[in-house]
């Protein structure tokens, strides 16, 4: 084989040489160059392989593989690359198995052989027609043998390379400068077709054909003028059945043996169908959209008797304001619109703004239509439902049926008299047991005595301090008044009665003085001349400020209250005839607000903040504790029968206790708008009154029945107004006339009013 | 007695309820599936009476379902279908992932489906139950039928909705069941009385929708799935109750008439029939083709305990309804192309009128503009060029107003270019003390058969006076109270003046002024007394009752206040209108 190829090659060479000689052109064909290179390749086989080996030693295998991978795509036309590859392969082989050169060589030989075969074809072509006759490619120019290198390398040398014979090619002596160039440009008519050849450093003037070729290549046409671009295609694979096979290969065995893989697949499918994993394609039934008479035989199923089912409420029907052309009164004004926009969407009365369109074609689509439908959907399936009883009550039926106030007369109805004279708020008033006189104590430091019927002020006593409480002695045979101010309780004898009565009261006061030595917390003392003349008879000095004084119904005992959180000295009971005082309680049970004596029995009522305690004075024990259900009791009154108590509290409530029933209030009355300050029972009539900071006195009818079965009947009968509210204080005290159905009230406006 | 200690939350209401999460776990469903099931089966949460007890002492906000409901869901065959579907989706995903297209095809062919027939039968054991609940179904189907055929939901759903709504409208037309219509800013409300049930539905205006992003279309699609099935069965039953064919067929006579036109212009052949049905211009085919069903005279059965008067009243009511059903009988309408065709055709045909439109506007027109027998031409533009003499050119609102007032209203107020009278809602039923807009009064007067007054202004004035009277009456009580207060205040003022003078140390000027005779009005006194009595009685009310009473009274007062506000607003508007008129006259 080798020999053959060599022979062939030598013959090639010979023909080439002959050709060269014959043509004597400066340019050569590609083929020629290729062949020369191939020669070199053959040389490589022996010599430069070792050199390469050394060079490539430092290259890692992976890099090589990368290289080879990249250059794999190279086609046969790129001979250089191909050769490189061969070399690489060779190297790799050598690296791989040391001295196994024979195989490598044989490989190489094979390759070269193939190539030469190709060349043969090319050569024969050339022989037929010298198509490279006019080939003027500079690349193959071998006048300069330096090869394809940048010519700058020869910049500093006088020569630019070597010719075929190994002689130096010298640069032209004189280099062209700019000026020469310019002159040349101006004068030389062939300047435009002159090309500088860097390799030979000479100017070449292109021939007409060459210029033509350049032009055509620039246009993207084929270099050959005679080449027909649009040759009819000859289809290699066509629908025509050819008599000969394309390849001469015999048919594979597998082409006539049934496929095992397919068999496996089929059997799998069969198995899957058998097992029901794959279902045969369902016949599309259109029964989904087909309707029939569903309710042909109506039977009440279980759900019908489902008691807990709550049908969804229907959407409310639209009103006039939803119309596209609503009456003008339903449109929003600007302020209303502003309010609508300010409101939270959930607070709005309508979710839309009523708008008016003058005709139907102007009505736009409603933006929130889908939203609202969606919200309805959410309501239907997400909203918890609950059955709610809607009250369908006539409000008139709710009003209790009470006896008419007209039938419950007498009771005070109109304001008839106003007692003016005080300059400060009047804290306390009291009516004499005869009903002729009225005493009042005020913050201006005076106690005034009024004639009830004429509203004349009969007497004014300056006591020198804000009067907290006044109380007229209920015993009609004496005429005494207890006054509480600061920490003193004064006993006045106003001498506004018969001489007998006055003298009897004097006698009571000047009773024995026995216990002066007992230096208790309370000291009794007579008054001096000056005060005597005013009518002040006794002074009972207390350790702390006194807020309230109360007489026992017999008129001998007197109780005083000194509210204090921290001590048990809050209540004192004084006996006037003996000038004796005692503290009935050993323990502090809370802040005492007010106290009262039972009208007939020896009981004592003490109202603390939240409750009322009832003590038996004889047995000296607590009998009852009433829970007032209010925050802070302000006042208390005991029914003349002694079985009922009312308590006013600062949280606007009035509680009525029936002592026979329970310790909880029998009735809570929330009539007042503000704190209740005073409560009072009438001594004879079934009336009670409450006074409050809202400036009203409410008179109620409260019949107490003698038989225990019937509960008291409580009916409010009159709301009396008249007092002016000053400094948020309205009426401070209220009291009934002992015999007439009249009620007195004293207020923060420094007046006392009588309602008859 | 001893015995075991009772444990908390093991009996009573705590055991009757189940939270949503526990219900979901019990059913072994994912939340979306659970929701779908709840929607289809109509299961909704219940609000327990004592939430804390049910919540086992906790106050955390939870939704509770009735345990019975959930147990009932356990046996639902659809739950199995849901699971199958889940598996199907998983398989399909797998096949896609492996790019096994044949498997994908095969799976798609065997997509699990379910039917809702049994659920509908279960939820609505009788046909009337289904009718009672059809409102939402209609609203939803009408909405879906207006959706574009792309995007938000399946085309089949939209087509089915369209078909069902068309069938429904055809039924309403055939049964003459429509009673009320209302043009609102949201859409058009219709109310029909079908088998004694009032059914109201809302149809959006014909515009493309601006689909909001915060709406879950899956929920709506599930509802629609249920509603379409329901509506289909209801339609079937309704059609058969009227001896109509279902699915609806056009009357052969009508069909022939329609066939003359070249159908190909309008729609594909498959859609042509439903389009023709939706045109609503032709009568439907009946199973038994009786020419004209004779008006069956109902026999009168006097109900015991019902006196003659009431029976007569009922009869009259029936007669009125009969008259209303034939409101447009004998009239021929022509719709211009800018008016909402579907709605108008529906209501005109629903009241016995004949209707047509431009041939190019929609399929199914029956006569041309040039037809001489047309009585009303409905136009919604300021003016029209070519006008025929023998017909009225009116705006569409006339038709709607006529239906609501149940009489043919005078057409003068509805001519082209005229400012239309307000369109009132027919659903508002004014009670005693409610505000009645003057337009409604006018219509009521027309219904009673009174002739409208010749001079409009006179009428207006009269109305105003009436209005004022009413106001006075309403305000009467309040005024009295106010007067009282004023008197008291005056007295107080006098007294105060005197007090001031006295406190200043001046002696009162002694002066005798002639006294005024205080006229006491006995009636008024009595009234006052009664008012006071009432006030005192109210004071004695129990706390609970007082609260309730206050609430009721507050509501009443608010109503009165609102009515007053509306009248005041109307009055101001009328005054300004009058002033404007005067100005223009001058």
pLDDT digits (tens, 9 = 90+) for A326-382: 998 888 888 889 998 898 888 888 888 899 998 888 899 998 899 999 999 999 999
User: How far is it, in rounded angstroms, from Cα B93 to Cα A553?
Assistant: 101
Residues of A in contact with B187 (CB under 8 A): 366, 369
Judge whether residue A156 has pLDDT over 60.
Answer: yes
Tell me: the pLDDT tens digits for B186-225?
999 999 999 889 999 999 998 888 888 889 998 999 999 9
For A293, which of B220, B236, B427 is closest by C-beta distance? B236
What is the C-alpha separation between A303 and A308, in angstroms, rounded? 10
Query: Residue A98 above 70 pLDDT?
Result: no
Contact yes or no for B474/B560 (Cβ under 8 A)? yes
pLDDT tens digit string along B331-362? 899 998 889 988 999 999 888 888 888 888 88
In angstroms, the separation between the Cα of residue B93 and the nearest Cα of chain A is 16
* Contact assignment for B215 to A371 by CB distance below 8 Å: yes
| C-alpha separations of A626 from A602, A623, B28 in Å | 18, 10, 61
Please give the Cα distance from B184 to A354 (Å, whole number): 10
Between A512 and A151, the higher pLDDT residue: A151
Q: Are A472 and A738 in contact (CB under 8 A)?
A: no
Query: Do residues B222 and B240 touch, judged by C-beta distance below 8 A?
Result: no
- Taking 80 as the threshold, does the pLDDT of residue B71 lie above it? yes
HEC profile of B231-266: HHHHHHHHHHHCCECCCCCECHHHHHHHHCCCHHHC
Are B117 and A719 a contacting pair at CB < 8 A? no
Q: How far apart are CA A408 and CA A388, in angstroms?
A: 42
* 3-state SS, residue A604: strand
A587 backbone φψ class: left, alpha, beta (φ>0; ψ -120 to 50): beta
- What pLDDT score was predicted for residue A139? 53
- Number of Cβ pairs < 8 A linking chain A and chain B: 275
Evaluate whether A568 touches A588 at the Cβ level (below 8 Å).
Answer: yes
By DSSP bridging, strand B392-394 and strand B376-378 are parallel
Residue pair A656/A669 in contact by the 8 Å Cβ criterion = yes
B13 touches chain A (CB under 8 A): no
Chain A residues in contact with B160 (beta carbon < 8 A): 289
Q: Which residues of B touch A326 (CB under 8 A)?
A: 422-423
Contact list, B578 vs chain A (CB under 8 Å): none
Give the pLDDT of residue A395. 81
Mutation pick from B185, B195, B211 vs chain A, by most beta carbons of A within 10 Å, is B185
Structure letter (DSSP) for residue A405: G
Burial, A103: exposed, middle or buried (Cβ in 10 Å; 0-12, 13-18, 19+)?
exposed
Rounded to whole angstroms, how far apart are CA atoms A576 and A560?
Answer: 12
Cβ contacts of A65 within 8 Å, gap of 6 or more: none
Asked if residues A485 and A467 have their Cβ atoms less than 8 Å apart, the reply is: yes
- Partners of B567 on chain A (C-beta within 8 Å) are 329
Enter the tokens of residue A148.
């394809």
Q: Which chain B residue has the Cα nearest residue A380?
A: B44
| Number of residues that make up chain B | 586
- Considering only CB atoms, B205 lies closest to which of A294, A365, A384, namely A365
Whether B45 sits inside 8 A of A373 (CB atoms) is no
Is residue B358 within 8 A of residue B370, CB to CB? The reply is no
Which residues have C-beta within 8 Å of that of residue B196, sequence separation ≥ 6? none
Where is mean pLDDT largest: A45-49, B134-138, B472-476, B530-534?
Answer: B134-138
Q: Residue B286, exposed/middle/buried by CB under 10 A (0-12, 13-18, 19+)?
A: middle
Q: What are the structure tokens assigned to B508, written together? A: 């009162």
Residues of B in contact with A323 (CB under 8 A): 182-185, 422-425
Q: Hey, are the CB atoms on B121 and A400 less than 8 Å from each other?
A: no
Confirm if A744 and A737 have CB atoms less than 8 A apart. yes
Query: Residue B204: what pLDDT?
Result: 93
Query: Which pair of tokens denotes residue B164?
Result: 């069902």
Q: pTM (2 decimals)?
A: 0.64
Give how far B375 is from chain A: nearest CA, Å: 21
Q: What angle do CA A33, A39, A40 make, to 5 degrees?
A: 95
pLDDT of residue A261: 93
Distance from CA of A463 to the nearest CA of B (A): 23
What are A704-717's pLDDT values in tens digits? Answer: 777 777 777 888 88
Out of B38, B183, B236, the one facing A292 most closely (by C-beta) is B236
Concatenated DSSP letters for A304-330?
GG-TT--PPPPPPPP-GGGBSS--GGG
Reported in sequence order, the residue ranges of A546-675 that DSSP labels E, i.e. its strands, are 548-551, 557-561, 571-575, 580-582, 592-597, 603-608, 611-616, 621-627, 633-638, 644-649, 654-658, 667-669
Residue B227 C-beta-side C-alpha neighbours within 13 Å = 28
**Closest among A87, A123, A121, A120 to A4, alpha carbons compared:** A120
Give the mean model confidence (pLDDT) for residues B494-515: 66
* Reported ipTM: 0.84
Q: Averaged over A510-517, what is the pLDDT?
A: 59
Measured in residues, chain A has a length of 756
For residue B247, cis peptide bond before it (omega within 30 degrees of 0)? yes
The confidence band for A52, taking pLDDT boundaries of 50, 70 and 90, is very low
Radius of gyration of chain B (CA): 34
Coil/strand/helix, residue B525? helix
CB contact under 8 A, A324 and B121: no
Per-residue confidence (pLDDT) for residue A127, from 0 to 100: 46
Three-state DSSP class for B474? helix
Nearest to A556 by CA among A589, A597, A610, A603: A597
> Has residue A50 got a pLDDT over 70?
no
Q: Is residue B335 within 8 Å of residue B367, measured between CB atoms?
A: no
Contact A278 B209 (CB under 8 A): no
Per-residue pLDDT at B182 exceeds 90 = yes
Chain B residues whose CB is inside 8 A of the A304 CB are 125-126, 129
**Shortest Cα distance, chain A CAs vs residue B300, angstroms:** 28
A123: pLDDT confidence band, cut at 50, 70 and 90? very low
The answer on pLDDT for A121 being more than 70 is: no
Lowest mean pLDDT among B229-243, B423-437, B492-506, B563-577: B492-506
Alpha-carbon gap: B389 to the closest alpha carbon of chain A (Å): 24
For the cut 50, the answer to whether the pLDDT of residue B469 exceeds it is no
More confident residue, B98 or A194: B98
> According to the model, what pLDDT value does residue A46 have?
44
Residue closest to A84 by CA, chosen among A93, A74, A94? A74
A357 CB neighbour count, 10 Å cutoff: 17
pLDDT at residue B489 in the model: 67
Q: Kindly list the residues from chain A whose CB atom is less than 8 angstroms away from the CB atom of residue B542.
A: 400
Residues of B in contact with A278 (CB under 8 A): 106
* Residue B554 in this model has a pLDDT that exceeds 90: yes
Chain A nearest CA to B384, separation (Å)? 15
The region that residue A620 occupies, defined by phi over 0 for left and psi between -120 and 50 for alpha, beta otherwise, is: left
CA distance B133 to chain A (A): 9
Largest CA distance in chain B: 121
C-beta separation of A543 from A569 below 8 A? yes
Residue numbers in B near A327 (CB within 8 A)? 422, 424, 437-439, 570
Which residue among A363, A391, A669 places its CB closest to the CB of B205?
A363
Look at residue A593 and give its three-state secondary structure. Answer: strand
Residues of A in contact with B47 (CB under 8 A): 384-386
Contact map slice: B 478-537 vs A, CB within 8 A: 488, 492, 496, 499, 502, 529, 532-537
Residue B484: the pLDDT is 53
Residue from the list A279, A287, A325 with its beta carbon closest to the beta carbon of B397 = A325
Q: Select from B391, B361, B360 the least CA-distant residue to B378.
A: B391
Considering only alpha carbons, which residue of chain A is nearest residue B65?
A384
Q: Could you give the C-alpha distances from A756 to A108, A676, A701, A750, in angstroms and in order?
A: 145, 21, 15, 20
- Cα–Cα distance between A475 and A491 in angstroms, integer? 14
Q: What is the 3-state secondary structure (H, E, C) of A350-399?
A: CCCCCCCCCCHHHCCCCCCHHHHHHHHHHHHHHCCECCCCCCCCCHHHHC
Average pLDDT over residues A381-385: 90
Q: Per the CB < 8 Å rule, is A395 touching B64?
A: no
- Indicate whether A264 pLDDT > 70: yes
Query: What is the rounded average pLDDT of the residues A412-418?
Result: 86
Query: In chain A, what residues touch B185 (CB-CB under 8 Å)?
Result: 322-324, 352, 354-355, 357, 363, 366
How are beta strands A467-472 and A481-485 bridged, if at all?
antiparallel
Name residues 342-401 of chain B within 8 A of A (Cβ): 380-381, 395-397
Q: A435-487 pLDDT, tens per residue?
A: 888 889 888 888 888 888 888 888 888 888 888 889 888 888 888 888 888 88
Ramachandran angles phi, psi of B154, nearest 5°: -65, 145
**Chain B environment of A382 (Cβ under 8 Å):** 44-45, 63
B183, A363: Cβ pair inside 8 Å? yes
Report pLDDT digits (tens) over B263-312: 445 545 556 777 777 777 777 777 665 444 444 445 555 555 556 777 78
Contact A303 B39 (CB under 8 A): no
Cβ-nearest to A361 among B47, B338, B549: B338
Predicted local distance difference test score (pLDDT) of residue A262 = 93
State the smallest CA–CA distance between residue A537 and chain B in angstroms.
Answer: 33
Mean pLDDT, chain A, rounded, equals: 77
> What's the whole-number mean pLDDT along residues A270-293?
79
Q: pLDDT category, B136, cuts 50, 70, 90?
A: very high
Q: Integer distance in angstroms from the first to the last C-alpha of chain A?
A: 155
Identify whether the C-beta of residue B471 lies closer than 8 Å to the C-beta of residue B436: no
| Residue where the block lists tokens 């704190």 | A675
Q: A679 exposed, middle or buried (CB, 10 Å; 0-12, 13-18, 19+)?
A: buried
Q: Are A570 and A577 in contact (CB under 8 A)?
A: no
């Amino acid at each position: 084989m080798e020999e053959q190829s060599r022979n062939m090659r030598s013959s090639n060479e010979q023909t080439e040489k002959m050709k060269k000689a014959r043509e004597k052109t400066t340019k050569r064909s590609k083929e020629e160059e290729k062949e020369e290179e191939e020669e070199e390749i053959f040389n490589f086989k022996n010599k430069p392989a070792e050199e390469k080996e050394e060079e490539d030693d430092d290259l890692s295998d992976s890099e090589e593989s990368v290289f080879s991978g990249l250059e794999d795509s190279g086609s046969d036309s790129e001979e250089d690359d191909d050769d490189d590859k061969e070399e690489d392969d060779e190297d790799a082989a050598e690296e791989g198995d040391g001295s196994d050169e024979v195989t490598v060589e044989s490989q190489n030989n094979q390759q070269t052989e193939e190539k030469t075969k190709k060349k043969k074809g090319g050569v024969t072509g050339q022989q037929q027609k010298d198509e490279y006759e006019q080939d003027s490619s500079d690349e193959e120019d071998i006048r300069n043998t330096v090869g394809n290198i940048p010519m700058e390398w020869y910049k500093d040398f006088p020569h630019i390379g070597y010719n075929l014979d190994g002689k130096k090619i010298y640069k032209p002596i004189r280099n062209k400068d700019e000026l020469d160039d310019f002159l040349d440009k101006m004068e030389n008519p062939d300047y435009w077709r002159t090309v500088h050849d860097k390799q030979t450093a000479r100017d070449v003037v292109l021939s007409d054909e060459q210029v033509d070729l350049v032009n055509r290549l620039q246009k993207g046409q084929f270099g050959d003028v005679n080449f027909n671009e649009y040759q009819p295609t000859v289809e290699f694979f066509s629908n025509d059945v050819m008599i000969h096979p394309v390849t001469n290969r015999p048919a594979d065995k597998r082409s006539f043996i049934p496929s095992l893989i397919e068999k496996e697949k089929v059997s799998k499918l069969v198995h899957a169908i058998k097992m029901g994993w794959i279902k045969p394609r369902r016949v599309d039934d259109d029964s989904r959209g087909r309707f029939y008479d569903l309710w042909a035989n109506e039977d009440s199923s279980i759900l019908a008797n489902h008691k807990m089912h709550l049908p969804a409420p229907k959407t409310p029907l639209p009103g006039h304001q939803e119309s596209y052309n609503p009456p003008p009164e339903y449109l929003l004004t600007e302020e209303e619109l502003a309010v609508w926009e300010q409101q939270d969407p959930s607070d709005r009365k309508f979710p839309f703004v009523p708008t008016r369109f003058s005709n139907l074609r102007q009505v736009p689509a409603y933006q929130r239509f889908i939203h609202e439908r969606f919200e309805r959907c959410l309501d239907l399936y997400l909203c918890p439902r609950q059955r709610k009883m809607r009250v369908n009550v006539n409000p008139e039926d709710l009003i209790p049926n009470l006896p008419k106030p007209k039938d419950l007369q007498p009771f005070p109805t109109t304001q008839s008299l106003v007692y003016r004279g005080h300059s400060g708020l009047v804290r306390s008033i009291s009516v004499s047991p005869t009903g002729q006189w009225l005493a009042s104590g005020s913050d201006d430091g005076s106690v005034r005595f009024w004639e009830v019927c004429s509203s004349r002020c009969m007497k004014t006593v300056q006591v020198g301090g804000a009067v907290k409480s006044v109380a007229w002695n209920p015993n009609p045979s004496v005429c005494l008044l207890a006054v509480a101010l600061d920490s003193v309780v004064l006993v006045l004898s106003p001498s506004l009665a018969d001489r007998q009565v006055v003298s009897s009261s004097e006698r009571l006061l000047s009773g024995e003085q026995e216990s002066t030595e007992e230096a208790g917390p309370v000291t009794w003392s007579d008054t001096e001349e000056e005060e005597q003349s005013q009518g002040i008879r006794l002074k009972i000095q207390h350790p702390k400020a006194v807020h309230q004084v109360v007489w026992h119904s017999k008129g001998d005992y007197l109780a005083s209250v000194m509210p204090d959180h921290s001590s048990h000295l809050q209540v004192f009971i004084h006996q006037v005839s003996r000038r004796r005082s005692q503290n009935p309680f050993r323990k502090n049970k809370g802040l005492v607000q007010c106290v009262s004596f039972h009208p007939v029995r020896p009981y004592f009522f003490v109202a603390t903040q939240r409750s009322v305690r009832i003590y038996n004075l004889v047995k000296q024990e607590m009998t009852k504790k009433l829970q007032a259900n209010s925050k802070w009791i302000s006042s208390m009154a005991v029914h003349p029968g002694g079985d009922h108590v009312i308590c006013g509290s600062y949280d606007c409530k009035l509680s009525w206790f029936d002592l026979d029933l329970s310790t909880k209030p029998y009735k809570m009355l929330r009539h007042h708008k503000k704190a209740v300050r005073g409560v009072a029972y009438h001594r004879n009539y079934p009336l009670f009154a409450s006074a409050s900071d809202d400036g009203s006195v409410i008179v109620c009818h409260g019949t107490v029945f003698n038989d225990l079965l019937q509960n008291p009947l409580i009916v409010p009968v009159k709301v009396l107004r008249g007092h002016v509210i000053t400094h948020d204080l309205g009426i401070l005290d209220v009291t009934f006339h002992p015999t007439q159905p009249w009620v007195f009230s004293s207020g923060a406006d420094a007046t006392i009013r009588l309602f008859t | 007695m001893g015995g075991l200690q009772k444990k908390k939350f093991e009996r009573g209401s705590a055991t009757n309820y189940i939270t949503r999460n526990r219900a979901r776990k019990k059913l072994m469903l994912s939340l979306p599936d659970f929701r779908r099931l709840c929607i289809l089966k109509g299961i909704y949460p219940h609000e327990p009476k004592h939430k804390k007890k049910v919540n086992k002492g906790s106050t955390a906000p939870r939704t509770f379902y009735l345990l019975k409901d959930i147990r009932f869901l356990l046996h639902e065959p659809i739950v199995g279908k849901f699971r199958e579907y889940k598996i199907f989706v998983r398989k399909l995903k797998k096949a896609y992932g492996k790019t096994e297209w044949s498997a994908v095809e095969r799976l798609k062919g065997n997509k699990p489906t379910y039917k809702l027939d049994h659920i509908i039968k279960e939820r609505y054991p009788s046909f009337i139950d289904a009718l009672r609940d059809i409102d939402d179904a209609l609203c939803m189907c009408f909405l879906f039928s207006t959706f574009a055929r792309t995007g938000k939901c399946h085309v089949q759903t939209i087509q089915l909705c369209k078909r069902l709504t068309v069938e429904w409208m055809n039924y309403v037309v055939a049964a003459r069941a429509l009673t009320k219509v209302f043009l609102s800013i949201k859409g058009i409300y219709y109310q029909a009385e079908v088998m004694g049930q009032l059914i109201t539905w809302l149809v959006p205006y014909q515009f493309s929708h601006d689909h909001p992003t915060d709406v879950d279309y899956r929920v709506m699609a599930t509802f629609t799935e249920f509603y379409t099935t329901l509506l289909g069965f209801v339609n079937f039953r309704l059609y058969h109750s009227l001896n109509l064919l279902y699915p609806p067929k056009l009357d052969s006579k009508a069909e022939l008439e329609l066939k003359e036109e070249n159908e190909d212009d309008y729609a594909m052949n498959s859609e042509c029939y439903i389009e023709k049905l939706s045109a609503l211009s032709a009568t439907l085919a009946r199973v038994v083709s009786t020419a004209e069903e004779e008006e069956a005279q109902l026999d009168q059965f006097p109900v015991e305990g019902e006196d003659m008067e009431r029976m007569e009243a009922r009869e009259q009511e029936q007669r009125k309804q009969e008259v209303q059903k034939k409101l447009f009988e004998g009239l021929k309408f022509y719709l211009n192309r800018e008016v909402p065709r579907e709605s108008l055709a529906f209501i005109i045909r629903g009241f016995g009128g004949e209707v047509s439109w431009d041939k190019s506007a929609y399929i199914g027109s029956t006569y041309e503009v040039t037809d001489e027998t047309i009585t009303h031409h409905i136009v919604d533009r300021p003016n029209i060029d070519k006008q025929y003499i023998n017909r009225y050119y009116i705006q569409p609102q006339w038709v709607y107003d006529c239906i609501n007032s149940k009489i043919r209203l005078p057409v003068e107020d509805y001519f082209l270019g005229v400012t239309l009278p307000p369109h009132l809602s027919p659903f508002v039923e004014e009670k005693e003390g409610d505000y009645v807009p003057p337009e409604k009064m006018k219509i009521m007067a027309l219904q009673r058969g009174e002739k409208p007054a010749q001079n409009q202004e006179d009428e207006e004035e009269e109305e105003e006076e009436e209005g004022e009277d009413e106001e006075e009456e309403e305000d009467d009580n309040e005024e009295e109270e106010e007067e009282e207060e004023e008197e008291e205040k005056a007295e107080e003022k006098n007294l105060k003046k005197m007090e001031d003078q006295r406190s200043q140390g001046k002696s009162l000027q002694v002066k005798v002024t002639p006294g005024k005779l205080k006229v006491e009005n006995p009636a008024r006194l009595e009234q006052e007394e009664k008012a006071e009595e009432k006030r005192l009685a109210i004071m004695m009310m129990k706390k609970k009752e007082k609260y309730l009473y206050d609430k009721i009274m507050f509501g009443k007062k608010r109503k009165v206040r609102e009515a007053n506000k509306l009248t005041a607003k109307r009055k101001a508007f009328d005054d300004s209108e009058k002033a404007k008129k005067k100005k223009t006259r001058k």
